Structure 1
Amino acid sequence: MPTYTSKDDTCDILVCGLDLALRSVRINDDKPTGMQIAEAAGFAPVPQITVLQWLAHGLEDVRPTETVNIREGVNRFIVAESEGSSRFLIDGVRYDWPASLISISVIRTLAAVSENKGIFLVDPERGEVLLSENDELNLSHRGVENLVTHAPTWKLNVQGVALSVDTPIIKVRKALELAGVSTEQDWHIYLIVEGHDKRELSLDDDIDLTQPGIEKVRLTPKDVDNGESGPSTIRQFCLLPADEAFLDSAYPNWQTVIDNARQWILLPKYKLPAGYTQSLVNLAIEVPPTYPMAQLDMFYLFPAGVLLTGVSIAATEACETIQGYQYQRWSRHRGGRSVWRPGVDNVMTHIALVESALIKEVL
C-alpha cells in the first residue's frame, strides 16, 4: 500500500526490524534524517542504530545525518541495533545486512523471490546447494556469500542416463519412462544411494530425491522360464517406430541396452556369411542420443569375426566393452554417395552396410 501522505510535512512510512514485519509510523518531516527515522521506529538516538532503506532491488544505508526524500509509493526502512554489517549477493544484487545471521525465509522476503523459485548457495566445492526456508545463512565467514535463485531441479541416474527433474518425489515408473526404459519389461529395480543399503523397488514406489547425493536406479531383467523359453528380451530404450517394425520382422530377439550412459542395439545370434570361423555372433550398433539426425556409425561383434583363411581384417583391432563383454569394433564409415541422410537412413539401411562390409572380407 502507498505510505506517502503529506500534510504540513507529515508523512507515513513503513518500518521493521530484522524480521521484516512492517508497521506504519508517522514522521513529521518529508525529508527525514536516518536518526529521525530511527526515533520514529522507537529507538533512542545512539550511534549503534542502523537504518536501511528497503528498495525494490537491494538495500541502501541511511546515515544518521543523511536525509531521505520521502516520495510517492512504498517507503520501507529496516531499523536495528548493530555495530557493523555483513554482505551477501543474491542474483548479483548486493545486500549489506546488519547482523551475522539471516534466515532464508527473510532473504526470500527481502529480495522478493517468488515461491516457485529455490534459493541456492553457490559453493566452490559442492556447486549449487538448495537451502530450506528454515536454514540460516552465516555471514560471518570470510568472503561474500553468493546466492542464486531459479526453479529447483533434482538429479537422478537411471541405468547410466542422467535425469534432471522438477519435483523432489518421482514415481519409479515415471523415472524409467523419462530415461527411455520400457516399463513393460519385467525388471529387478534397485535404488542405490551412497551411504545406504541397496533397496529393491517396484514401479509404483516413490523415490525421494531430497536425500544427499545423487540417487542411482539400477535394473536387471527378471528371467522368464517356462521350461522352454530363455531369458526375456531386454528393451531399455525405444527406437523409431519404423526401426522397431523392421527389427521385429527381421530380428525378433533384438534388444536395446544402456551401458555406461551409451545406447546400444544388440542382435543376438546374428548370422555371419560363409568364410568366418564363427557362424553366429552378437552384433552391436551404437545409437547416439541425437539419432536420427546423427548417424549410426561402425558396428561391433562378439565374439570377434575371424576369417577362415587366417588373414587379418583391417580396422578391427580396437575393442569396446558392452555389458562386460569385449566386442570387436569394425571401423567402417560412410562416405561419398553413402553419406548419412536424416529421415532416409535408419537401422535397416545401416544393417545393409554391415552386411556389405562382412561380405566384402570373404569375397
Structure 2
Amino acid sequence: MNIEHHEPPGDKHATIEIAGIDLNFQGFDPETRTPTGGKLAKLAGFNSDQRPYVFQWRHDGDLEELRDQEEADLSNGTRFIVAVADGTNRIAIEGESFDWPADEISGAVVRKLGRIPSERGLYLERTDEPDRLLDDDDVVKIRKDGIEQFRSGKPQTWELNVQGKKIVSITPVISVVEALTRAGFDPNAWIIILKIAGQPKRQLSVGDEINLRAPGIEKVRLTAKDVSNGEARVAPSRDFALLEVDEAYLEGLGYAWETRSSDGHRWLIIRDYPVPDGYAAKATTMALMIPPTYPQTEIDMFYVYPPLQRVTGGAIPATEATQTIGGRPFQRWSRHRGSVVPWNPQRDNVVTHLALVESSLIKEVGE
C-alpha cells in the first residue's frame, strides 16, 4: 500500500539550487521542504542506476553527503552538488576538509567552496617545493594517496615598467589607459610599445589591455607621436621595397625609417631606435644590411651610429669593427644566428631579426 505524504495546507516550498562540480547553480522547485537525496538527483537529471553523489552545501560551509532516501533539512542550506563519480577525494580549504566527487578541481571552484575573495591569492600547498599560486582556470589533479590542501594568501600583485616608472597592479590584466595614467603619461600623446622577452616589440592602442601573467613581459616604452623642431620634414628615402610585413611593422611602431643603397650595399636605416637602460645613449641610428636576394638570404649582424657604450664602461665584445654608411662610421655588432634555429625564409624577416637585435642589446647590459 502506497502512503502519500501531504504537507500542511499553505506550507510554501523553498527554492533550491543544484550544480555539478563546476558550481554553476540552477534553481529548482523541489515541491517539498524535505527533498531526499534521490529526489535531488532526479531533479538534476540523473536516474537511480547512475548512483550519483549528492551533497548539501550547508550554510556553515560543510559539504554533507545525502543518501538516496535521506531527507535534506533546507534550514541548513538550499544549495546542492550532484555528480556521478567513481568515488570521492579529500581536499582541504583553509584547513576545512571536504569530500569532493571528482578527480580534479579548478581554482575557481576552490574559491567558491572556500568563499575566498578574488582579491586574495589562492595557493596549493606543497611540502617539498614552494606553494603553487593558482589562477581561477587552473585545474588541479587530486592525489589518491593523500589530501590536497588549499589556502588563501596575501593579495597577488603584478609589476609593470612604464617608461622607467614601475606601477603595481592588484589585477593580472591592466588596461593601457590605466597603466599610462598611473605612470603620469597622457595615453593619447604617445606611440605605445610593449616589450616582451624573446618576441618582437608590439604596438598597443589605448583600447588594449596588458596581461601581466604572460611570461617575459618587460616594459612599456613610449615614443612621442609628433616631435618637431620647426623645420620642414625631409621625405624618407625608399630606394628599395621591404616585405609588406616589414613595412607594416616599422610603420606600426612609429619608427622613422628609410631604405638606401649606399657604399655598395642595401640598407634599412631606423632613426632614433630606442636602446635598453644601461647604455650611455637612450637611442641610436640602427642599420640592417638587406641582401639583394632577401628573404632567401638571411639578414646578418646590425650596425649603429653613434657607437653604443655601457654606462659602466668596458668594451663590448665583437663590436670593434666599423662600416661606412652614408659617410658615417657605424659600429658593427657581429651577432649571428646559431645552428639550432637557423634563418628560415618562410618565417624570418626584418621583424624577427629586430627581435635578435633587441635580445643582443639587452644581453650586454644584463637588463
TM range (shorter): 0.3 to 0.5
Which protein is bigger by CA-based radius of gyration? 1
Could you state the TM-score of these two structures normalised by the residue count of structure 2?
0.41
